[in-house]
Amino acid sequence: MGARSMVPAAVTLFLFLSFVGLCNGGITGNYVRQVGPTADMPKEAFPPPPGFNTPEQVHITQGDHGGRGVIVSWVTPAMRHPNVVTYWAEGAKLKDKQKAHSKIYSYRYFTYSSGYIHHATIEALEYDTKYFYELGRGNGTRRFSFTTPPKVGPDVPYTFGIMGDLGQTSASIQTLEHYMANPKGQTVLFAGDLSYADDHPYHDNERWDTWGRFVEKSAAYQPWIWTAGNHELDFAPELEEYTPFKPYLNRYHVPYRASQSTSPLWYSIKRASAHIIVLSSYSAYGKYTPQYTWLKQELPKVNRAETPWLIVLVHSPWYNSYNYHYMEGETMRVMFESWFVQSKVDIVFAGHVHAYERSERISNIKFNITNGQSAPVKDPSAPVYITIGDGGNIEGLATSYTEPQPSYSAYREASFGHAILEIKNRTHAHYTWHRNQDNTPVAADSLWLYNRYYYPVEEPSPWE
Ligand SMILES: *[C@@H]1O[C@H](CO)[C@@H](O)[C@H](O)[C@H]1NC(C)=O
Ligand SMILES: *[C@@H]1O[C@H](CO)[C@@H](O)[C@H](O)[C@H]1NC(C)=O
Ligand SMILES: *[C@@H]1O[C@H](CO)[C@@H](O)[C@H](O)[C@H]1NC(C)=O
Ligand SMILES: [Fe+2]
């Protein structure tokens, strides 16, 4: 018996596994690579740029509600000044260069003292225009660029990349490089858990600096839309650090006031044809709390005639069939799921579980204390829930699942990767998930998503 007879055996095994998956309603990808935790890269892998007081850890995010604003953030290590960003549209004359000044923050954490953290908001930019911007002075000057989104509108095509739980290991580098190798992504939706500094002794905040340097190659050139995860809490009474989210809130600013939010931990933006709502799994969301009150007022404001696609980012998943963080999202689901179904949310992206999972369109909102209807059922008004916590951080992959695969779970696989959401028009968006081991164009999971407001019909499963 030679190698030839192995092939049919392998194929048979694959078909068998696929078949087992389908019987239970979904697919469990058997492509499991790296299992154990991976160490973070040495700090030297993310060196500061050369020059004196050179701006570093440069990142941008949307700076207003509709897409004409940008928040530019950076750190200067030695001096507070210059605290200015100079910017101009591509092709502009020298005299048309404009300036915005930053507000400067700094904080201490245990024995760590931060550099000068700058946040400058640029407003009233032209839509759909390439801008250059410059930071620093003398031999510490650096230049970057970004492109503003098209004006908000129902059929504006736009492409988002989605990552979560990134960290700073060799796998994290692979994920980011893999995302950047695909020229399609215009804005990153980040599902929380950024640096994993808190996995180091004393929450070594230099790991927040190395992470800022690591992601700069993407985050300085396209907006990253931030969501807070549990690794942003940095709540450490044993270090006398009592203020939750202290490093995160100093370093990552978002335009929360533009959506009448009272906290940077929950807010919304409109970008091209999408209305994006960011929620906080680690802030109060019970009835009467600020987050609850804000979301209740926010959902009726969504104008699908302007932004057909309603997308939610939250760190802890509501539907998760891994044996990791199982049911941690349950209390928030109980609070808000019926609102999402009523509002016809299209997609909910979460992180937290270090693996990939995509749900069917299901809801579990019928239950009351007397009727026993406590199982999820197919629901054409429900969002698709996607767990994309597979960025590749220091804690390794989540590799064990609840068995059998629940019927609500359409596809799950313990591999690192990222996703791409290509909105085409008000009815169609093409969604793909890319595992790190594959070449750029290869999608390990992909399907057409139909808009819940304009075209609420069932999507054909890619696996049937
Ligand atoms: C950069 O400028 C600073 C002061 O402006 C100077 O001390 C330093 O030597 C310069 N470095 C280089 C590489 O020219
Ligand atoms: C519970 O659900 C049942 C069936 O859907 C319904 O008839 C009943 O009125 C509900 N009870 C309450 C208290 O809402
Ligand atoms: C929307 O995009 C899809 C996919 O590209 C296309 O098949 C469909 O015809 C488009 N709809 C309209 C109204 O253009
Ligand atoms: Fe997490």
Cβ of 371 less than 6 Å from ligand 2: yes
Cβ atoms 267, 280 nearer than 8 A: no
pLDDT of the residue at 5: 35
Q: Average pLDDT of 363-386?
A: 95
Token output for 111: 């024995």
Q: Is the pLDDT of residue 4 over 70?
A: no
- Residue 325 among the catalytic residues: yes
- C-alpha radius of gyration, the chain, whole number: 22
pLDDT of the residue at 35: 61
Q: Average pLDDT of 208-213?
A: 98
Q: What is the pTM of this model?
A: 0.94
Query: Which numeric CATH code is attached to 152-192+265-463?
Result: 3.60.21.10
Cβ of 368 less than 6 Å from ligand 2: yes
Which candidate, 459, 450, 398, places its Cα nearest to that of 429?
A: 450
Length of the chain: 464
Cβ atoms 17, 30 nearer than 8 A: yes
Which ligand 3 atom lies nearest to the CA of residue 425? 1
Q: Is the pLDDT of residue 6 over 90?
A: no
Q: Is the pLDDT of residue 20 over 70?
A: no
- Parallel, antiparallel, or unpaired for β 187-190 and 224-225? parallel
Q: Average pLDDT of 341-366?
A: 98
5 vs 10: CA distance, rounded Å: 9
Q: Average pLDDT of 277-293?
A: 98
Measure Cα distances from 79 to 87, 120, 133, 377, 382 in Å: 21, 17, 20, 58, 51
Among residues 59, 118, 178, 325, which one is catalytic? 325
Three-class HEC string of 156-222: CCEEEEEECCCCCEHHHHHHHHHHHHCCCCCEEEECCCCCCHHHCHHHCCHHHHHHHHHHHHHHCCC
70 vs 391: CA distance, rounded Å: 25
Number of C-beta neighbours around residue 165 at 10 A? 32
**H or E stretch covering 11:** helix 6-23
CA 366 / ligand 2 centre spacing (Å): 9
Number of C-beta neighbours around residue 217 at 10 A? 12
What band does 310 get if pLDDT is binned at 50, 70 and 90?
very high
Token output for 201: 């002794």
Number of C-beta neighbours around residue 401 at 10 A? 21
> Quick one: which ligand is closest to 372's CA?
2
pLDDT of the residue at 461: 85
pLDDT of the residue at 34: 55
Q: Is the pLDDT of residue 16 over 60?
A: no
224 vs 315: CA distance, rounded Å: 15
Q: Is the pLDDT of residue 285 over 80?
A: yes
What band does 127 get if pLDDT is binned at 50, 70 and 90?
very high
